[in-house]
Amino acid sequence: MRLMQMKTLSHVKQQRNILGTSFKMASLVCTLQDHQDDVNWCAFSSTLLATCSGDKTVRVYNTSDFSELAFSPLSGHGYSVHCCCFSACGQFLASCSTDATTMVWSMVTGDIEAVLEHPGRSPVRICAISPDSVHLVSGASDGTLALWDFPSKQLCRTAAVSDTTMVACSFSPCSQMFMTGSTYGDLRLWDLNMNQLHAEKNAHDLGVSGCAFAPSILSGAQVVQFRVASCGQDCHLKIWAVNKFSSGACKMQLLHILTDQSAPVLCCAYSSDGQLLVSGSVDKTVTIYDATNAVLLWS
């Protein structure tokens, strides 16, 4: 056991040193100042960066040189755009808005492929596309969720959590479940039939700000395990284990509480290989962690 602890510590120190050296040598590539209001969200595909704003637009840039694409900005929403996300192949971009719609855009032409009107016409605060690009979830300020068939853009089913606003959503890497977070402070796990598999109430005091599944899946004889990060108004970043048993039951276990930021943590994301976890805060800091060991590497 002692030898394993020493090896783990050595691995963490090595990663910290590598990342520390790398980031000390980092330099500013460019500053994007095209939006006329708050930037509410950003998303990457393999070749593109999309940003959305309170100025009602979505802008799309080429990651090779951060030049704006010819069809950008995308101007279709009538009010503030809260979230955007790419399909796995990067061919489509979804964006959601206070105007109660989620729009799907072609990243080849910039045209609107579909306008998905949220049931009840409530402002849509969050949207997410499953890794297999079969489903899209949109969550609204009245606590409702809509699950859409992404290829056909047809509404499959709805669900709701009363007295809250949906502000966070992430699909599991297997695309068969998704997690939501709300201003009430709860994290809820759903299947594609909109059955609630687990509810973690008071996951974050004062409300959840974001959540993200890690891209890896850990499987055993009787259980499949996922890792989920969540962040909130309580200034905490948390890492959870989600265990799905062969019986169909699901349980969540809190593994780590990270408290390196001094103000509400607004967003969190895993790297594509799942080795790093990043969070951004109102205190104007970005923190980078070793996701496996929950050790701070850089801030």
Residues 207-235 pLDDT 10s = 999 999 999 998 887 899 999 999 999 99
pLDDT tens-place string over residues 184-196: 999 999 999 999 9
Q: What is the pLDDT of residue 28?
A: 80
DSSP letters along the chain, please?
-HHHHHHHHHHHHHHHHHHHHHHHT----------SS-EEEEEE-SSEEEEEETTS-EEEEETTT-PBPTT-SB---SS-EEEEEE-TTSSEEEEEETTSEEEEEETTT--EEEEEEPGGGPPEEEEEE-TTSSEEEEEETTSEEEEEETTTTEEEEEEE-TT--EEEEEE-TTSSEEEEEETTS-EEEEETT--EEEEETTSSTT-EEEEEE-S--EE-SSEEEEEEEEEETTS-EEEEEEEEETTS-EEEEEEEEE---SS-EEEEEE-TTSSEEEEEETTS-EEEEETTTTEEEE-
Q: How far is CA 201 from the centre of its chain?
A: 19
CA angle, residues 230, 232, 237, in degrees to nearest 5: 50
pLDDT tens-place string over residues 135-162: 999 999 999 999 999 999 999 999 999 9
Q: Is 10's pLDDT higher than 70?
A: no
Q: Is 105's pLDDT higher than 50?
A: yes
Rounded Cα distance between 125 and 164, Å, is 12
Rounded Cα distance between 213 and 21, Å, is 28
Task: Give residue limits of the domains in the chain.
Answer: 31-160
Per the CB < 8 A criterion, the answer to whether 47 and 66 are in contact is no
Write down the CATH superfamily of domain 31-160.
YVTN repeat-like/Quinoprotein amine dehydrogenase (2.130.10.10)
What average pLDDT is seen over the chain?
A: 92
Per the CB < 8 A criterion, the answer to whether 296 and 258 are in contact is yes
Rounded Cα distance between 234 and 247, Å, is 34
pLDDT tens-place string over residues 15-37: 555 454 454 544 688 999 999 99
Q: What is the pLDDT of residue 17?
A: 52
Coil, helix or strand at residue 15 = helix
